[in-house]
Amino acid sequence: MDLTTLMAYVFNCAVCTTIAIIFLLSPIQKQAQGKIDSYSKAKRCLAASAFIEALACLLYINCIVKAEPYIQLDHFTKPLFLYVAICIDLAAIVNLLHGKHAKARTIIFFVSPVAFLWFLHLIIYIGDYGLNFAAQPYSHYLTTMPSLITCRSLYAVFFIECTIILIAVNKHVSIFKQHIDNYYSGINQSRSRWLVAVVASIVIYYIVCIVDMFITDIAYDPLLLWLRTIIIIINSVAFIMCREIYWTVKPAFVETYNQTEVHITDAAAQLKTDTPAAATASPDNNTSKPQPATDTSSIDAIVTEWTRREDKPYLKESITIMQVAEQMGLNTRLLSNYLNSVKGRNFNAWINYLKVEETKLMLLADRSVSLSEIAFKMGFTDLASMSKIFKSIEGMPPSVYRQTH
């Protein structure tokens, strides 16, 4: 009996089981409509994938204790368990990033090839060996041509679908970042990246699992298993610690979509209904409430007036597009569309641009003021953040800008 490998599997099984129980027993957060919140859904998905990992470990532990060869599990059983866990954790990632889930028919179409290969593999085995699932007959079955065909077909499908999943995760991350940048600027925008880090750690874990699956040398098995266990612990702790960040950035995916969707391209149509003739025909013309601006020139005037305010609200350390739109008296979606189409920047980039313009003035106004003090006054999280943003816009760090101007 290989005690080193056995200890690695037992510890991994215990860790996964503990994490799954903790996630399942933790309270469920519900939305106002009574639906389970996305964070709680993500937590349940991670618990399910942890249980699957624990179950797979139990199969390996059983083989090791009985002194049976367990490497055959890597040929078909392990990829199958891994595939199910990946699909479940993909759902967790979508929930964590406030993404949209695939339709039921898409999911069925996606998992059908794997389900078919598993069913075919099992039917052929039962036809030749009956319901005897002991290690010896199964090891012999793995050397037959039908088993080799189903296993290699599973590997091919597994590789293709994992690539598709990786592309889907990257797409969800990109949409998440874009949405955050269109809503937040400042510290909350920076903190949201921790959720992306959790997603990245999940992806790294499964990359290690796939590498482990293709390594046939048993000597590396416990080492990779310990590495996977450490990553699982880090993932779980990071997920729990990101709970507050999740709730902080959630308004970006709720408040923005709750706004009336008014697009700048619709301004002409709305302006036709606001012509003088229409206004004269209205009996309540003098008492009607003023309508929010919808044409580009009117919005441009409002935005310019806001940027010239004496209190310089854009220098706050953390500000949202919801707050700015409210101060301007504009619709959130309308302001976002205006910034992206007219200014050519998302909300975060636009606020950073205003901060950099103000920073340039302060750098030259009083050269005795330290860069750290300027970073604090300009609403940057720290000097490093100011230098990075300043360089991305001006092509040089603030220290060089001060020296050359």
Round to whole Å and give the CA distance between 236 and 260.
Answer: 38
Integer CA distances (angstroms), 94 to 33, 133, 157, 354, in order: 20, 37, 22, 33
- Burial label, 363 (beta-carbon count in 10 A; 0-12, 13-18, 19+): buried
Please list, in sequence order, all residues whose beta carbon lies within 8 angstroms of the beta carbon of residue 292, skipping any fewer than 6 positions away: 329, 330, 331, 334
CA-based nearest residue to 57, from 200, 191, 212, 207: 212
Residues 197-212 as b/e (b if ≥16 CB within 10 A, e otherwise) read ebbebbbebbebbeeb
Helix ranges (H only) for 66-103 are 77-96
User: Which pLDDT tens digit goes with each residue over 5-27?
Assistant: 889 999 999 999 999 999 999 88
Model pLDDT, residue 23: 93
Q: Residue range 280-284: average pLDDT?
A: 41
Model pLDDT, residue 271: 33
pLDDT cut 90: percent of the chain above it: 36
Q: Residue range 230-246: average pLDDT?
A: 91
Of the two residues 285 and 347, the one the predictor is more confident about is 347
Q: Residue range 230-238: average pLDDT?
A: 93
**Would you say 350 and 181 are in contact if contact means Cβ atoms under 8 Å apart?**
no
Neighbours of 245 (CB within 10 A): 16
Model pLDDT, residue 287: 41
Q: Residue range 207-234: average pLDDT?
A: 86
Model pLDDT, residue 98: 86
The encoded tokens of residue 31 equal: 């939305």
User: Which pLDDT tens digit goes with each residue over 124-175?
Assistant: 888 888 887 776 777 788 788 888 888 888 888 888 998 999 999 999 999 9
Q: Which residue has the tokens 């993909």?
A: 90
Q: Domains for the chain: give ranges and CATH numbers.
A: 3-257 (1.20.1070), 263-275+292-404 (1.10.10.60)
**Would you say 279 and 228 are in contact if contact means Cβ atoms under 8 Å apart?**
no
The encoded tokens of residue 205 equal: 């874990």
**Would you say 150 and 124 are in contact if contact means Cβ atoms under 8 Å apart?**
yes
Chain center to CA of 389:
23
Model pLDDT, residue 226: 92
Check residue 340 and report its DSSP letter: I
CA-based end-to-end distance of the chain: 74
pLDDT at 282 over 50: no
Reported as a pLDDT band with limits 50, 70 and 90, residue 1 is low
CA-based nearest residue to 89, from 173, 180, 165, 171: 165
Model pLDDT, residue 30: 74
Model pLDDT, residue 358: 93
Tell me how many degrees the CA angle 346-347-353 measures, rounded to the nearest 5: 90
The encoded tokens of residue 55 equal: 């179950």
353-361 — which CB contacts under 8 Å span 24+ positions? 353/393, 354/307, 354/314, 355/314, 355/315, 355/379, 355/380, 355/389, 356/389, 356/390, 356/393, 356/394, 358/312, 358/314, 358/315, 359/386, 359/390, 359/398, 360/394, 360/401
Reported as a pLDDT band with limits 50, 70 and 90, residue 261 is very low
Q: Worst-scoring range by mean pLDDT, 142-151, 217-226, 287-296, 305-314?
A: 287-296
Round to whole Å and give the CA distance between 197 and 336.
Answer: 26
Model pLDDT, residue 72: 65
**Would you say 183 and 192 are in contact if contact means Cβ atoms under 8 Å apart?**
no
Model pLDDT, residue 331: 86
pTM, rounded to two decimals = 0.78
CA-based nearest residue to 111, from 154, 55, 142, 50: 154
Model pLDDT, residue 275: 36
Chain center to CA of 308:
36
Backbone angles phi, psi at 30, to 5 degrees: -120, 150
pLDDT at 63 over 70: yes
pLDDT at 259 over 50: no
